Amino acid sequence: MLVFGASVYGFYFSVMLALDHAASEGARASLTAMNAAERSTIAQEQVDRVLNAYSGLINTDLIEQRIGPAADNPGLFEVELRYQFSATSFGQLSGIVPLPAEEPNVIATVSNGGY
């Protein structure tokens, strides 16, 4: 049971690292743009590029994305990724192995510029 739990948690944390990597790269890439629409496009392309590199590990169809200006502060730009872990085969086992969250999410925030 211990080895089984370690496998489930290993996969869970791999998903978290992939989401964090994609969100961070998307947010960084958005800094090269001149306006909000271009920021969103560039960030989306970078997020897709990074997630495609992880396609052997995670199912990209299970990822919800929100990319754009922060809702509470238009001076910030956010990339939010949420993975439907409960829809995976490891997620189905959450009754046996408790997980931190059934839908892990990551938010990367950068400033639009200025002081």
Q: What's the pLDDT at 115? A: 53
Structural domain of 48: 2-111
Cα–Cα distance measured from residue 85 to residue 104, given in angstroms and rounded to the nearest whole number: 7
Domain total of the chain: 1
Q: What is the pTM of this model?
A: 0.87
CA 67, 69, 73, 78 dihedral sign is: positive
Q: Per-residue pLDDT tens for 52-110?
A: 999 888 899 999 999 999 989 988 999 999 999 888 877 777 677 777 777 889 999 99
At residue 47, the 3 state secondary structure works out as helix
